[in-house]
Amino acid sequence: MAWTAHKVPLPELVEASNDLDEKARELANLIRTSKHFIVFTGAGISTSAGIPDFRGPEGAWTLQAQGRQRTAAAVSTLQAIPTATHMALVELQNQGLLKYLVSQNCDGLHRRSGILPDKISELHGNNTREICKDCGKEYIRDFRAVADDTKSIHDHRTGRKCTICSGPLHDTIINFTEPLPARELELALEHAQNKADLCLVLGSSLTVTPANEIPEAVGNSRRRGGGAKLVICNLQATPLDGMAELRVHAKTDELMVRVMRELGMEIPGFVLRRRLAVTTVEVGGQGRGQRCKVVVSGVDVDGTPVSFLRSVKMVNNRRVVKAEPFAFDLRGDVAEEGLELQLELEFMGHYGEPNLELVHGVQDNELGVAVVYLLEYNPYNGEWKTTRTKQ
Q: What is the pLDDT of residues 195-251, one digit of tens each?
A: 999 999 999 999 999 999 999 999 987 666 678 999 999 999 999 999 999 999 999
- Is residue 165 part of an annotated ligand binding site? yes
- pLDDT at residue number 214: 97
Q: Which of 153-157, 249-253, 286-290 has the lowest mean pLDDT?
A: 286-290
Domain 272-389 coded CATH 3.30.530.20? no
Q: What is the pLDDT of residue 164?
A: 92
Q: Over 90: is that where the pLDDT of 80 sits?
A: yes
**H-state helical runs in 67-210:** 84-94, 109-113, 182-194
* pLDDT score at 247: 98
Q: Is the pLDDT of residue 271 over 90?
A: yes
**Residue 113, C-beta contacts closer than 8 angstroms, at least 6 positions apart:** 82, 86, 87, 89, 90, 270
| Residue 132 in marked binding region | yes
Instruction: Give mean pLDDT, residues 17-26.
Output: 98
Strands annotated E in the chain: 37-41, 98-103, 120-122, 129-132, 138-141, 157-161, 168-171, 198-202, 229-233, 246-248, 272-284, 291-299, 305-307, 309-314, 320-321, 326-331, 340-347, 356-361, 370-378, 383-389
Predicted local confidence at residue 71, as pLDDT? 58
List the catalytic residue out of 124, 156, 170, 249.
124
Q: Are 31 and 259 within 8 A, CB to CB? A: yes
Mean pLDDT of 136-144: 96
pLDDT of 1: 43
162 annotated as belonging to a binding site for a ligand: yes
Mean of the per-residue pLDDT values of the chain: 89
Residue with the larger pLDDT of the pair 60 and 184 = 184
Q: What confidence category does residue 66 fall into, taking pLDDT thresholds of 50, 70 and 90?
A: low
User: How large a percentage of the chain has pLDDT more than 90?
Assistant: 73
Total-model pTM: 0.91
Q: Are strands 326-331 and 291-299 parallel, antiparallel or unpaired?
A: antiparallel
- Give residue-wise pLDDT tens across range 311-366: 999 987 778 999 999 999 887 656 555 678 899 999 999 999 999 999 998 876 67
d(CA 64, CA 246): 32
Which CATH code for domain 2-127+173-263? 3.40.50.1220
Angle, vertex CA 184, rays to CA 171 and CA 248, nearest 5: 105
* 103 pLDDT above the threshold of 80: yes
The answer to whether residue 124 is catalytic is yes
**Cα separation of 77 and 4, whole Å?**
23
Mean pLDDT of 12-25: 96
pLDDT band at 256 (very low <50, low <70, confident <90, very high): very high
Show me where the domains of the chain are located.
2-127+173-263, 272-389
Separation of alpha carbons 158 and 172, rounded Å: 10
More confident residue, 57 or 187: 187
**pLDDT at position 225:** 64
Position 57 pLDDT exceeds 60: no
* Confidence (pLDDT) at 2: 42
pLDDT surpasses 80 at 288: no
Whether 3 has a pLDDT exceeding 50, the answer reads no
For the chain, the residue count is: 391
